[in-house]
């Protein structure tokens, strides 16, 4: 029994000695692949116990080149729920993981003062709060703005000389679309506008009324219907539509301008001046400034009329209406030469405009060139046979040359076109009195 124990002790000693010799001859062991620490060096203490001490510096593990680096996921938190870490009072630098919760009053105050300007929040109606996508609002605004621009652009299709053939083709095309989608307000608006350009006022009023029934809050539909009703002689209903349009779109310069035009045609000069000024205050445009000049001249304010006309010309020197307004104001002020030059400029800029020929005819008549004035006024009537002002001025020129019966006929036509045309009515009475006097 003793011999067996002795043999085991000898075998253990030889094995331990061999392992120590191999460790010393091969140098330090490689770093641990798991922990990254240095290898352990064994030393023998006097008591015979074996201890270890770390060799080398700690190693920072780096991922292999083939591995993809995973970014840590950071949760987005509201300002009131941010976790704040405070240092302990003993100054050891260890962090306290306690979360600071804000009170509802503090959260409300932070929201009101805009503490988190970088992140805007919106409620989806379900109680959740989520980030607002910046592009969504701008996209919807741009879409609505584009549709409104199309409405406003269609409001002025009657300016200049519209292509009647194109307008007829558009009517056929839009009617087919309405058959597929009868509840599209814009289609009814477009059809009503093209019918208005073609002169079908009754059909235009019907389509525009349908557009308003589908979309009663469309200021453009109501303004266009007001224009149509104005031409049909239904002045009170036209004003009613324009007033509603202004209530819906109080910041639209075009709506105020069209309302002022309707008031001016109805003889409400003072109200028209106010609407034109509101339009100019929102957005200065040569058409509105020229219209203001015309209304001021009708009200007897020659100086104000000339000032507005000059502003219109300065904004757009190629605008024939602005040139005509300036010509009329200069003629009223007594500057016949400047008025003539301005009127000729307007006729060159817009030879197909009845107003430019009308202004030139007035200047020629004021200069004593009655025959030339009659020719210009006849040209204005040919371009626009429904122009009451052109009819009245042509009758006045006939009267000045002594042609009383042609003058009476023109005055009567002017009154048929505009029953509220006071100047034409007065001229007609004077011409009839002159006719009976000459017969006696």
Of 21-25, 190-194, 294-298, 389-393, the least confident = 21-25
Residue 422 has a pLDDT of 87
Of 102-116, 248-262, 373-387, the least confident = 102-116
Per-residue pLDDT of 114-171, as tens digits, reads: 333 333 323 333 333 333 323 333 333 333 445 666 666 666 665 555 677 888 888 9
Q: Which helix (H) or strand (E) holds 39?
A: none
Of 59-63, 144-148, 317-321, the least confident = 59-63
Q: Which residue has the higher pLDDT, 47 or 213?
A: 213
> Which among 127, 110, 99, 102 is positioned nearest to 119, based on CA atoms?
110
Question: What is the pairing mode between strands 129-131 and 95-96?
Answer: unpaired
Question: What is the pairing mode between strands 86-87 and 95-96?
Answer: antiparallel
| Average pLDDT for 196-212 | 91
Confidence class of residue 386 from pLDDT cuts 50, 70 and 90? confident
What is the Cα–Cα distance from 223 to 208, expressed in whole angstroms? 10
Instruction: Pick from 12-21, 288-297, 411-420 the range whose average pLDDT is largest.
Output: 288-297
Residue 72 has a pLDDT of 44
The fraction of the chain above a pLDDT of 70, given in percent, is: 63
Mention every residue, 6+ apart, whose C-beta is less than 8 A from residue 264.
Answer: 272, 291, 294, 295, 298
Domain ranges of the chain: 385-440
| Average pLDDT for 172-184 | 91
Q: Report in angstroms the alpha-carbon separations of 148 from 95, 142, 151, 252, 433.
A: 59, 10, 5, 11, 53
| Average pLDDT for 6-21 | 60
Confidence class of residue 376 from pLDDT cuts 50, 70 and 90? very high
| Average pLDDT for 412-418 | 91
DSSP state of 386: T
- Would the pLDDT of 8 be above 60? yes
| Average pLDDT for 99-106 | 44
Q: Strand locations in 127-265, DSSP E?
A: 129-131
Confidence class of residue 358 from pLDDT cuts 50, 70 and 90? very high
- Would the pLDDT of 62 be above 90? no
Residue 74 has a pLDDT of 41
Q: Report in angstroms the alpha-carbon separations of 68 from 62, 64, 351.
A: 11, 8, 75
| Average pLDDT for 18-35 | 48
- Would the pLDDT of 70 be above 70? no
Angle between helices 164-180 and 185-198 (to 10 degrees): 150
CATH number, span 385-440: 1.25.40.10
| Average pLDDT for 367-374 | 93
Residue 380 has a pLDDT of 93
The fraction of the chain above a pLDDT of 90, given in percent, is: 48
What is the Cα–Cα distance from 389 to 314, expressed in whole angstroms? 26
Per-residue pLDDT of 248-260, as tens digits, reads: 999 999 999 999 9
């Amino acid at each position: 029994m003793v011999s067996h124990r002795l043999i085991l002790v000898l075998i253990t000693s030889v094995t331990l000695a061999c392992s120590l010799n191999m460790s010393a001859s091969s140098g330090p062991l490689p770093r641990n692949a798991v922990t990254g620490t240095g290898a352990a060096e064994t030393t023998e203490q006097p008591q015979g116990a074996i201890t270890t001490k770390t060799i080398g510096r700690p190693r920072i593990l780096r991922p292999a080149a083939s591995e993809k680096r995973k970014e840590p996921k950071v949760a987005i938190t509201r300002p009131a729920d941010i976790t704040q870490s405070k240092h302990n009072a003993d100054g050891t630098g260890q962090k306290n993981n306690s979360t600071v919760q804000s009170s509802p009053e503090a959260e409300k105050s932070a929201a009101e003062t805009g503490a988190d300007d970088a992140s805007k929040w919106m409620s989806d109606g379900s109680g959740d709060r989520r980030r607002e996508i910046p592009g969504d609002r701008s996209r919807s605004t741009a879409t609505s703005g584009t549709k409104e621009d199309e409405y406003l652009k269609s409001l002025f299709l009657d300016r200049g000389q519209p292509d009647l053939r194109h307008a007829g083709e558009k009517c056929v095309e839009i009617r087919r679309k309405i058959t597929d989608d009868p509840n599209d307000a814009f289609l009814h608006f477009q059809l009503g506008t093209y019918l208005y350009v073609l002169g079908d006022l009754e059909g235009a009023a019907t389509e525009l009324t349908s557009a308003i029934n589908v979309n009663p809050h469309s200021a453009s539909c109501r303004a266009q219907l007001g224009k149509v009703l104005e031409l049909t002689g239904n002045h009170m209903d036209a004003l009613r539509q324009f007033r509603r349009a202004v209530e819906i779109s109080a910041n639209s310069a075009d709506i105020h301008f069209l309302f002022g035009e309707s008031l001016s045609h109805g003889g409400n000069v003072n109200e028209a001046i106010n609407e034109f000024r509101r339009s100019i205050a929102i957005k200065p445009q040569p058409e509105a400034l020229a219209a203001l000049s015309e209304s001021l001249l009708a009200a007897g304010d020659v100086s104000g009329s000339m000032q507005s006309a000059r502003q219109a010309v300065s904004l757009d020197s190629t605008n024939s209406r602005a040139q005509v307004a300036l010509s009329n104001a200069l003629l009223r002020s007594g500057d016949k030469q400047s008025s003539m030059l301005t009127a000729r400029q307007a006729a060159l800029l817009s030879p197909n405009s009845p107003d430019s020929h009308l202004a030139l005819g007035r200047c020629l008549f004021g200069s004593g060139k009655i025959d030339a004035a009659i020719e210009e006024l006849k040209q204005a009537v040919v371009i626009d046979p429904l122009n009451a002002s052109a009819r009245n001025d042509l009758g006045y020129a006939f009267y000045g040359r002594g042609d009383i019966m042609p003058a009476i006929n023109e005055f009567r036509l002017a009154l048929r076109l505009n029953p509220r045309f006071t100047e034409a009515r007065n001229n007609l009475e004077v011409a009839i009195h002159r006719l009976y006097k000459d017969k006696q």
